[in-house]
């Protein structure tokens, strides 16, 4: 069960390919990122419409197709109650029944993901060190692995893609240390494996995973403060880990900023209430 916990939570992070923030406040960037304004406010239907339109206007962008696949998957994960902090690093994510996706959703997800991977592979064939393409294909691997895990309960296939996503994003940061966003998966990896008992850590090590809880939290904080693409997602994950570590006072300011930026997101309000109650 330990490896399944690794897979489940690392994939939760590996699928992220969020909005560009570029150093501005979250509130300042919400209006400039319409697709992600809908996405982070949990209006997935409108987000999907927006991302589909963006892909039509720019069919050469792998990111646009990743956004489509991500929205389809996260919409159903939200409906199944799988996006709360209780699922991060816990057993609920593991024991959750197979996520039911309609035939139409499965088809759209798979077509979008295949298109994204193909576009990234074409760029990498021309330049194997193309960091943008490497990052995009890492997100695609994470999405495919997450799909295998939550839809098919095929955790071995999910582990393979989780490993591929981690390696690709690690390569990104080797090529470009300033590509802070690619550290997100590595940070969650560090935290989750660092939380496992020694026997499972040894098995995780054999699978190529290494762990350090505090380093993982520091990395998420770095992405939350300096990231360009994944700042929002890093903040969401960081707040959840603060709550898991019984550090609600540190979660409150993070969640306050998130709820102000995305006021229509009820999950963020619930998490903020939970964190605030924990400080009393």
- 234 is a domain residue: no
DSSP helix/strand/coil, 227: coil
- 278 is a domain residue: no
Number of domains into which the chain is organized: 1
pTM of the predicted model as reported, rounded to 2 decimal places: 0.86
Per-residue pLDDT band at 136 (split at 50, 70, 90): very high
pLDDT mean across residues, the chain: 83
Per-residue pLDDT band at 2 (split at 50, 70, 90): very low
Residue 90 has pLDDT above 60, yes or no: no
Per-residue pLDDT band at 280 (split at 50, 70, 90): confident
- Which domain does 205 fall in, by range? 2-23+31-223
- 230 is a domain residue: no
Which of 19-23, 185-189, 225-229, 246-250 has the weakest average pLDDT?
19-23
Task: Give the integer Cα–Cα distance in Å for 194 and 198.
Answer: 9
Each residue's pLDDT tens digit, 207-266: 556 678 899 999 999 999 888 888 888 998 899 889 989 999 999 999 999 999 899 999
- 252 is a domain residue: no
Task: Give the integer Cα–Cα distance in Å for 160 and 39.
Answer: 28
Residue 25 CB-density burial (10 A; 0-12 exposed, 13-18 middle, 19+ buried):
exposed
Task: Name the more confident of 92 and 195.
Answer: 195
Task: Name the more confident of 272 and 196.
Answer: 272
Q: Mean pLDDT throughout 167-175?
A: 94
Contacts with 76 (C-beta within 8 Å, 6 or more apart), sequence order: 99, 100, 101, 105
CA atoms within 13 A on the CB side of 202: 2
- 251 is a domain residue: no
pLDDT at 7: 42
Q: Mean pLDDT throughout 59-87?
A: 88
- 257 is a domain residue: no
């Amino acid at each position: 069960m330990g490896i399944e916990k690794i897979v489940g939570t690392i994939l939760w992070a590996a699928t992220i390919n969020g909005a560009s923030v570029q150093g501005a406040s979250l509130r300042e960037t919400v209006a400039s990122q319409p697709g992600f304004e809908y996405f982070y406010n949990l209006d997935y239907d409108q987000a999907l419409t927006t991302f589909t339109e963006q892909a039509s206007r720019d069919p050469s962008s792998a990111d646009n197709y990743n956004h489509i696949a991500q929205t389809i998957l996260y919409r159903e994960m939200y409906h199944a109650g799988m996006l709360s902090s209780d699922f991060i690093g816990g057993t609920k994510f593991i024991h959750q029944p197979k996520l039911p996706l309609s035939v139409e959703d499965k088809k759209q997800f798979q077509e979008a993901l295949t298109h994204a991977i193909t576009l990234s592979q074409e760029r990498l064939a021309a330049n194997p060190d193309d960091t943008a393409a490497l990052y995009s294909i890492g997100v695609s691997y994470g999405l495919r692995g997450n799909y295998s895990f939550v839809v098919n309960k095929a955790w071995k296939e999910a582990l393979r893609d989780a490993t591929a996503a981690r390696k690709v994003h690690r390569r990104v940061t080797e090529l470009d240390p300033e590509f802070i966003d690619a550290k997100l998966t590595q940070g969650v990896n560090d935290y989750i494996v660092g939380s496992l008992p020694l026997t499972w850590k040894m098995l995780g090590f054999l699978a190529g995973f290494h762990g350090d809880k505090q380093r993982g939290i520091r990395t998420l904080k770095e992405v939350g403060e300096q990231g360009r693409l994944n700042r929002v997602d890093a903040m969401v994950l960081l707040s959840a880990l603060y709550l898991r570590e019984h550090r609600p006072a540190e979660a409150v300011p993070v969640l306050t900023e998130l709820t102000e930026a995305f006021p229509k997101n009820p999950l963020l309000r619930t998490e903020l209430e939970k964190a605030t109650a924990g400080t009393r």
